[in-house]
Structure 1
Amino acid sequence: MEPYQLSILDKSSVTHDTFAFKIEKPKGYSFVPGQATELSLLKEGWEDVKRPFSFTNLPKDDFLEFTIKTYEDHEGVTKRLANAQVGDKVEIGDAWGAISYKGDGVFLAGGAGITPFISIFRDLRQKNQIGKNQLLFANKTNDDIILFEELKSILGHKFQNIIEHQKDSAYDRGRIDKDYLKENINDFKHQNFYVCGPEGFIKAVNSALKELGASPEALVFEK
């Protein structure tokens, strides 16, 4: 299918380096919560530089939304998006992705890896189906936690944060490793595990989950 060229309708700050972009939604466009698409910014020299970003709105919304962490120290698409303005054009393709909700489980996110889970949680809240779902969210500092207040309102005490680099954080300190998983998860054999983050995070967490008894079929991640 031909790509869609769309205007940015709104840009709002989420954290010190993360923005929510609302863009036009093509007629008939659809996606499943958890999916992503390839996006490029239609600025000279950047039209063909495509990167995957997850949808963070609800499928029924009359707009599309992407919550994007930007990296000022990288000469890439996210640095350009940090300076993008309402009215600028982007290009996207069709929706794709292996992450979708398959039932109650534990969501494990590293940094911007939370983004595919945002639409899933918003969808479950709207359907009153949050159930027993649990979120373990790893970040470098407290200020890096994306949508803290909203996630807390959705998940309550089932939302746990672990912080690696901030010594005075009141949250758990360290990384999501085998010991942390063992301490914070009660059942490894009868629920799903949704994993998203940097490639190294996904590999390490999946490996630890398998060692603790999780079935490979229960691991939901972007391969």
Structure 2
Amino acid sequence: MGIEHSKILARQEVAQGTMAFHIAKPTGFEFRPGQAFEIQLPGTGSETSTEDRVHAFSIVSAPHENELMFATRMRDSVYKRALGAMPVGAALDIDGPFGSLTLHKNLARAAVLIAGGIGITPFMSMLRSAAMRQLPQDLVLLYSNRRPEDAAFLSELQTLEQQYPRFRLKATMTDIAHSAAGWNGDTRTIDGVWLRQAIEGLAEPIFYVAGPPAMVAAMRQILLAAGIDEDDVRSEEFYGY
């Protein structure tokens, strides 16, 4: 669609060290759940490297929502420092949407979403959209974080599970010993045994994996070792989030 102008409407911390930005949705801006866009910061001249002025983010909001949202770990980089310093009302530019990590159209086949950390962002758009439409499709989310404090959108996902009968959330915290929050759920890493338990009874599931590159590579190996056809595995790696 080319460059579109927007502005920051609000911001909120959605996990420790993770900030969500609500931005204005340009007129006519259309996208599919799971797609991404680039956010270009203002006041960045040609002498600034592309890495310091432009960053790609998955779109957290669903297409039916009146605003756009993205979320990111607020790491110590030139771009993240500049983004974090921008006040509500500040202008920025959007380039997009792009990306093909979108849900398959055959609703008879289940979808298994596997997210590590900030890799949850494209799946939030998918799940918000599916819940609003009450799609007759089985959706299972395997969501791995170190601690509940690190798990962005966890409470929203728990609420979605109650509101959308076809959605099932299986979250795990792999470093609960260092958490100050209570947690009564799983604490194991995602392995072949847990995976097979999670997908039992699902109709011909297609798998979607998003997270840090090492996590995505490991999950692909686990899926293939479990006998999943590689044509039924789709993934997206998140660098530097």
Structure 1 and Structure 2 fold alike (TM over 0.5): yes
Q: Which residue of 1 aligns with 2:217?
A: 203
Hey, what's the Cα distance between the residues in 2 that align with 1:158 and 1:188?
11
Matched residue SS, 2:63: coil
Greater shift in the superposed pair: 181-190 or 192-201: 181-190
Hey, what's the Cα distance between the residues in 1 that align with 2:128 and 2:17?
22
Which residue identity lines up with residue 186 of structure 1 in the other structure? E
Hey, what's the Cα distance between the residues in 1 that align with 2:153 and 2:130?
16
Hey, what's the Cα distance between the residues in 1 that align with 2:151 and 2:58?
17
Q: Which residue of 1 aligns with 2:191?
A: 177
Query: 1:43 Cα deviation (Å)?
Result: 4.6
What does the per-residue CA deviation read over 1:10-45, in whole Å, with 9 as the maximum and x for residues that have no partner? 112222222221212222211000000111222557
Q: Which residue of 1 aligns with 2:141?
A: 135
Distance 1:109 1:70, change over 3 A: same
Is contact 1:14–1:147 with CA below 8 Å preserved after alignment?
yes
Hey, what's the Cα distance between the residues in 1 that align with 2:202 and 2:135?
21
Query: 1:83 Cα deviation (Å)?
Result: 3.0
- TM-score, L = length of structure 1: 0.88
Which residue identity lines up with residue 160 of structure 1 in the other structure? K
Matched residue SS, 1:94: strand
RMSD of aligned alpha carbons: 2.4
Picking from 84, 89, 94, the partner of 2:91 is 89
Is contact 1:107–1:135 with CA below 8 Å preserved after alignment?
yes
**Residue correspondence of structure 1 range 59-98 to structure 2 within 5 A:** 59-71=63-75, 74-98=76-100
Is contact 2:138–2:202 with CA below 8 Å preserved after alignment?
no
Query: 1:92 Cα deviation (Å)?
Result: 1.7
Q: Which residue of 2 aligns with 1:120?
A: 126
Q: Which residue of 2 aligns with 1:21?
A: 21
What does the per-residue CA deviation read over 1:53-104, in whole Å, with 9 as the maximum and x for residues that have no partner? 1111121333211122222xx3242343333220222222110112111142
Query: 1:155 Cα deviation (Å)?
Result: 2.1
Q: Percent identity?
A: 27
**Residue correspondence of structure 1 range 133-172 to structure 2 within 5 A:** 133-156=139-162, 158-167=168-177, 169-172=183-186
Which residue identity lines up with residue 199 of structure 2 in the other structure? I
Hey, what's the Cα distance between the residues in 2 that align with 1:15 and 1:6?
25
Greater shift in the superposed pair: 49-58 or 76-85: 76-85
Query: 1:206 Cα deviation (Å)?
Result: 1.1
Q: Tell me whether 1:100 sits opposite 2:106 in the alignment.
A: no
Is contact 1:189–1:215 with CA below 8 Å preserved after alignment?
no
Matched residue SS, 1:95: strand
Q: Which residue of 2 aligns with 1:6?
A: 6
Is contact 1:3–1:91 with CA below 8 Å preserved after alignment?
yes
Q: Which residue of 2 aligns with 1:36?
A: 36
Query: Which ranges in structure 2 are unaligned for 5 or more consecutive residues?
Result: none
Hey, what's the Cα distance between the residues in 1 that align with 2:38 and 2:137?
31
Hey, what's the Cα distance between the residues in 2 that align with 1:189 and 1:139?
27
Greater shift in the superposed pair: 17-26 or 175-184: 175-184
Query: 1:4 Cα deviation (Å)?
Result: 2.2
Distance 1:155 1:130, change over 3 A: farther
Query: Which ranges in structure 1 are unaligned for 5 or more consecutive residues?
Result: none
Query: 1:158 Cα deviation (Å)?
Result: 1.9
Matched residue SS, 2:61: coil
